[in-house]
Structure 1
Amino acid sequence: MKIIKFILLAIGFTILYLTVRSVGAENILSNLMAFNWKFLPILVVYPFVFAFDTIGWGYAFPRSLPSHVPHRDLYLIRIIGETLNAVVPWAASLGGEPIKAELLKRRHGVSLSEGYASILIVHTTFWLSLNLFVIGGITANFKSLPLSPILWQSVLAFLISLGLVALLLIIGLHLGIFKKVHALGEMFKWWGAHSGEKRMKFLKLDDEIKRFYTQDPRRFFLSTFFNFLGWFAGVFEVYWISKILGIPMSFGQAWLFEALMQVLRIVTFFIPASIGAQEGGIVLLFLQFGFEKSVGFTFALLRRIREILWLAAGLVLWFFLEDRPRLKTH
């Protein structure tokens, strides 16, 4: 684990360096100095995004969040995991998920089956809530914004695809997908070693997930609700940046803009930290909204600076957190 940790940290800081380089250190400093205190609210919004998402994750545990796992530790673990999701280039934005499960086990004794079950479950509520968030943004602006038909068609295709993925994942998890994965694995020779042990682990994972969906559906809806609040909190960041840049953007437009940026981020998941793709996409969105290209680039720059600061915080946090003793609760 130590070797993997330092390899991932090295990759993470490399991606962080490349991100800073793509933006330009001078651009970062000049913008921070130009906006001074007005930049601070941008940093304040994101902790609320993580807080809502953490509560949503807490409701996704099969047996409810263990009482000995404080929300503050779950919050820190989520920051670390999401940081690695952003910077690990080969893991399709999922590189931090095993780290979340491992940290839960090391620091709080949460079994890997329960940890992975909660992560898989929260992904279903995460995608479902994103679908609702994008639909809400479109509903609030459908008649008021003259966006191109191609953009609307692309968003519609994304919503249908995302909805199908979420639905199929929920159905698969409910029916016991890991038992089928194990049966498929037994067809290959390399799977044979410790096959019985693997089967027990997969069956336990299926049982944990099935328990969640059958015994307490209320927590599924609560997890979806708080994940939706996490998406919605991001609208305030967009709205605030638009105000400090003097952009005449309504709150409803900010909602749609944030929704479309999340669509863009997911579509470009294979690019570490979406370097370049995010900036280009934001500029194109600004042009679609009828705003100036230069203002769009400044907007993208401010958002990227916030991401750089949070990525740095997440990597530093992981460096120190794993070796610290477990947080005590009173």
Structure 2
Amino acid sequence: MKGFVVFAAIAGIALFGGLVAYSGLGDVGSAVAAAGWATLFVVLIRAVVISGCGLSWHLLFPPEHRLPVWVAIGLRFVREGVNTLLPVAMVGGDVVGARLATFWRVNLSVAGATTIADVAIQAATSAAFAILGIGVLMWLHGDGPLVRYAAMGAAVAVLLIAAFFVAQARIGSRLLNALLARLGVKGTATELVERLWSSLAAIYAAPGRVARSTLVHMLVWIAGTFEVQVALHFMGYPVSFAEALVIESLGQAVRGAAFAVPGGLGVQEGGLVALCALFGIPPGPALALSILKRVAELALGLPALIAWQLLEGRRVFRRSEPDDAVTEPRQ
């Protein structure tokens, strides 16, 4: 697995380098310089987007186990930082976030269940956002090869997401327990699986909370469109909101499909070059747009990674206290 990740990273770097060479380093640099204050605006928009994701996660917690909203938002920044800046295949940050939630005396099963549900809802709304982008692209340009390829990709994504939701049903716990039994694992692990799935069932048994979380996630995806619109406007290539939505939605879909490539390096850039070309935007500004997005990831992700290490360090110094991260209080 590590070998594959290394290969994917090398391939992504090579693709990124090839795109820069094809676009012209000077053109890319000029576009980044022309962006100017757009960099700050993109960072601020990204901060709002991640905060919205934190709110969406917060809404999934049952009232008696609810993580404070400011903590949920802060930990969501950590989740995002780990997923975007470390080679963890876009899921390691969610594991870290669930663990850190237990530092605030949230049950481990509840923290894990809300994180699983949050990831599922995020994936579902991401697919819906991509489908919206395909519909807007058809409205702007009519049918074509790109629309058909995007539609096929969206169909595959919907099937995978549906399978993920099915796995969260009781059949998923039975399959996991059967696997653990075959591996000779008994006791605490199987009990934790049962508690985790019970917590998942309780989350989905509250459709109001799930609906509110889903709505916030969808609004967050749409809000991300302003990153594209603002950045391209400052670079001298203004696009309509509809055009920016197509670029953002399908660009996110392309990056999500390449989850094995650390940070989607090269893949995100290639997708944005192809999508921007639909609206007459040259490769240089398209690559500059991707660079601005990566600046936002660094500007927000690096402090989040530092905060993660500070939280873990404080935990080490408090080891003499009862460890609530592995217990199940208030059940």
1:33, distance to aligned residue in structure 2 (A): 6.0
**Structure 1 pair 302–126 and aligned structure 2 pair: CA distance change class (3 A):** same
Q: Secondary structure at the match of 1:110?
A: coil
**Aligned partner (choices 118, 125, 138) of residue 122 of structure 1:** 118
CA distance in 2, matches of 1:287, 1:146: 16
CA distance in 2, matches of 1:185, 1:243: 54
CA distance in 2, matches of 1:242, 1:104: 38
Q: Could you tell me which residue of structure 1 aligns to residue 52 of structure 2?
A: 52
5+ residue gaps, structure 2, are: 1-9, 21-25, 319-331
C-alpha contact 2:27 2:285 (8 A) present in aligned 1: no
Q: How many pairs align?
A: 300
**Aligned partner (choices 73, 76, 80) of residue 74 of structure 2:** 76
- Identical pairs, percent: 26
Q: Could you tell me which residue of structure 1 aligns to residue 168 of structure 2?
A: 173
1:18-43 superposed Cα distances (whole Å, 9 cap, x missing partner): 9xx979xx999987765443432111
1:176-207 superposed Cα distances (whole Å, 9 cap, x missing partner): 412321112312xxx324x0222211111111
Q: Could you tell me which residue of structure 2 aligns to residue 153 of structure 1?
A: 148
**Aligned partner (choices 252, 258, 277) of residue 287 of structure 1:** 277
C-alpha contact 1:148 1:288 (8 A) present in aligned 2: no
Q: Could you tell me which residue of structure 1 aligns to residue 251 of structure 2?
A: 261
CA distance in 1, matches of 2:255, 2:242: 20
Alignment of 1:27-38 (within 5 A): 34-38=34-38
Q: Secondary structure at the match of 1:56?
A: helix
> TM-score, with normalisation over the residues of structure 1?
0.81
1:137-171 superposed Cα distances (whole Å, 9 cap, x missing partner): 2223313226741x212211222122222222223
Q: Is 2:218 aligned against 1:228?
A: yes
C-alpha contact 1:58 1:65 (8 A) present in aligned 2: no
C-alpha contact 1:56 1:227 (8 A) present in aligned 2: yes
C-alpha contact 2:98 2:111 (8 A) present in aligned 1: yes
1:100, distance to aligned residue in structure 2 (A): 0.9
Q: Secondary structure at the match of 2:168?
A: helix
Q: Could you tell me which residue of structure 2 aligns to residue 315 of structure 1?
A: 305
**Structure 1 pair 158–65 and aligned structure 2 pair: CA distance change class (3 A):** farther
Alignment of 1:75-224 (within 5 A): 75-89=73-87, 91-105=88-102, 107-145=103-141, 148-149=144-145, 151-187=146-182, 191-193=183-185, 195-214=186-205, 216-224=206-214
CA distance in 2, matches of 1:53, 1:265: 18
C-alpha contact 1:60 1:223 (8 A) present in aligned 2: yes
C-alpha contact 1:242 1:248 (8 A) present in aligned 2: yes
CA distance in 2, matches of 1:80, 1:239: 26
CA distance in 1, matches of 2:64, 2:238: 43
CA distance in 2, matches of 1:84, 1:27: 31
CA distance in 2, matches of 1:112, 1:212: 14
> TM-score, with normalisation over the residues of structure 2?
0.81
The one-letter code of the counterpart of 1:210 is A
1:225, distance to aligned residue in structure 2 (A): 0.7
**Structure 1 pair 31–71 and aligned structure 2 pair: CA distance change class (3 A):** farther
1:244, distance to aligned residue in structure 2 (A): 0.7
Q: Could you tell me which residue of structure 2 aligns to residue 43 of structure 1?
A: 43
1:283-308 superposed Cα distances (whole Å, 9 cap, x missing partner): 12222333222222222222222222
The one-letter code of the counterpart of 1:47 is A
C-alpha contact 2:51 2:76 (8 A) present in aligned 1: no
